[in-house]
Structure 1
Amino acid sequence: MSRNFDAADIVDVIFDEYSSAILTATSAEPVAVTNIVEAVGMSPATAYRRIDQLIDHELLAERTWFDEAGNQIHMYESQFESVKIEIINGIAYLHIVGDDAHELTRLWEFQ
C-alpha cells in the first residue's frame, strides 16, 4: 500500500459483508464482476460500489483483458495475501501482508 489510510477506515472496508466477500472471491485468481455478483449474491451496482471502494484503498486491482473477439473483460484481483488484527498490551495493530511489502498500521490504543 503506497498511500496512507486511516486504519479504522480500512478495517471498515475490509470487514464490510460485501467487500469481504469480494476480497475472498478474488483472492485466488482474477475474477470478472459477473462472477462476483453470482457467487456473492449482490446486485451489480452494489458490486461496483464496493469494487471502487476496494480499489481506492488499494486492496483490489482491476485488470483489463481482451477476449478472442476483441471485447474488453475487466477482471479484479486482491492485492494482498493476508490481513491480521493483533492486540498486544492494549494496542491493536492491523497487518496487511502483500506480495512486495508488509504493512503494519497501529489501529488504536486502550489506556
Structure 2
Amino acid sequence: MTPARDGPGVGEDPTLETVVELLDDDHVRAVLTATSGEPMSARELSDRLDISQATVYRRLDRLTDAGLLAERTRPRADGHHDTVYVASLDELTIRLRDEQLEFELDRRGEDIADRLTRLWEEF
C-alpha cells in the first residue's frame, strides 16, 4: 500500500481541543478502533460499524485532517485500487502539570518508503 494523504504537515499536531472533541464522538472512536487492526475502506467501515457511508466519510475527513488517521491506496487484483484508512494514533497522553494541561500524541511508525513517497507528493 502507498500513502495518498496524511493529516497535518510534518511536525504539526492537532490541538488538545481538537483531539478531545474528536474523541467525544462515538463514531470517531469506532472508526479509530476498527482501523487500528487493519486498513479499511469507507464501505468496509460502513458495513462493519453499521453506519451510513456519509457519516463514515465525515469522520474520515475529520480524522485525517487531524493526523489521527492515514489514507492509503490498496491495489486490487483487477488492476484498480481502493482507498483505505489506517489509524495513525498509537497513544495519547494527557497530563496536568504546573496548572496546565499538556498532551502528547504518539503515532504509529511509518516505514521509510511511505515517508519518502508522502514527502515527494507534497512537492
TM-score tier (shorter): 0.7 to 0.9
Between the two proteins, what is the percent identity of the paired residues? 28
Deviation of the 1:6 alpha carbon: 2.2
Q: Alignment partner of 1:69: what SS?
A: coil
Question: Residues 1-111 of structure 1: matches in 2 within 5 Å?
Answer: 2-88=11-97, 90-100=99-109
TM-score between the two structures when normalised by the length of structure 2 = 0.70
Query: Are the equivalent residues in 1 in contact too, given 2:88–2:107 (CA < 8 A)?
Result: yes
Q: Alignment partner of 1:48: what SS?
A: helix
Q: What residue identity is the alignment partner of 1:9? A: T
RMSD over equivalenced CA pairs, Å: 1.9
Name whichever structure is richer in strand by fraction: 1
TM-score between the two structures when normalised by the length of structure 1 = 0.77
Partner Cα distance (1:68, 1:99) in 2: 28
Name whichever structure is richer in helix by fraction: 2
Equivalent residue for 1:106?
none
Q: Which runs of 5+ in 2 are unaligned?
A: 1-7, 110-123
Distance 1:41 1:89, change over 3 A: farther
When the two structures are aligned, how many residues end up with a matched partner? Answer: 100
